[in-house]
Amino acid sequence: MKKYIPRHKFFTCTVIMLVAFSTLSAQNKKLLFHGSPGVVSYTYRNNFQKDVPGTLDIIKNNGITDIEFSNLFGKTAEEMRRLIDERGLHCSSFGVGYDDLVNKTDEVAKKAKILGAQYVRVAGIPHKGTFTLENAQMAIEDFNKYGKILKEKYGLEFIYHNHGFEFEPYQRGTLYDYIVKNTDREYVSYELDVLWAFFPGQDPAVLIKKYGKRYKALHLKDLRHGVAGNMSGGTSGENDVVLGTGSINIPEIIHAAIKAGIQHYYIEDESSNSITQVPESIKYLKSLKK
């Protein structure tokens, strides 16, 4: 026997449910950052050196599935692929040194393919002292040449990761501007490290707005308050703090990145406190509102 529900009570329940659903939808729409960020393996370098499987478990337990590897920590590409597959993790980017890009292009590409990566990333350009126009011109030539090989021969995308020294003044902009403008957008894209843009005096959000779709990924970091920047491309890893607690305007950067269509947001925490700081950084990103 069906239980009779008075019409007025049924109407009241329906209204309550609709209001609750609308409230929940409104709350979800207000969230700025959806999903989970990725992470750079360098964040857990000390842990990886001791225990690769255990460190991958830490990453998974933080709700992270997207990894940019800059080191395989003694494992072959095949071994690392098996370990990440077992945990439902994914390597989207494989970071290598400049020399390996130039001198071991095929080996680098084969490892990236085995890992399942879409990108091959280089962070840094060889130079002595102040970064010069000649250094930038060398990089442009190499990036165009090897970016073309990676794409046409292996179906991989090359991305360059800034490290701060590239922002030396040049003409009406910087040498970084010169590099971006003179590399072939078909073969060369970029990964913006927000700390290594902010540290030498640039505004990461402005760079994202300026170069838009040239950026495929971000390294998300925050810089301790009171740390003076320079063009050296170096500062203590202990100056990396939980996102949202430092000097960098993270919400403005995320707004610009989403508008530019950037797909990969890798947390990179170089401090000795990354185990405790990364979960707090994730919590912060998920708390951001539009």
C-alpha radius of gyration, the chain, whole number: 22
pLDDT of res. 233:
87
Mean pLDDT by 10 residues, the chain (290 residues): 51 46 52 92 97 98 97 98 98 98 98 98 96 98 98 98 97 97 98 98 98 97 95 91 98 97 97 97 95
Closest CA to 66 of 282, 289, 290: 282
Domain spans of the chain, in order of start: 33-287
Class of domain 33-287: alpha beta
Res 34: pLDDT: 86
What pLDDT was estimated at residue 6?
A: 58
Q: Residue 19: its pLDDT value, please?
A: 42
Give the model's pLDDT for residue 24: 45
Give, in order, the Cα–Cα distances in Å from 86 to each of 41, 65, 95.
Answer: 17, 12, 22
Length of the chain: 290
pLDDT of residue 10: 45
Q: What is the pLDDT of residue 248?
A: 98
Question: Residue 30 has what pLDDT?
Answer: 87
Q: Tell me the three state secondary structure of residue 67.
A: strand
Cα–Cα distances in angstroms (integers) from residue 22 to residues 15, 25, 40, 54, 68, in the given order = 10, 5, 37, 42, 38
* CB neighbours of residue 201 within 10 Å: 12
**Beta strand 169-170 pairing with 173-174:** antiparallel
pLDDT at site 20? 45
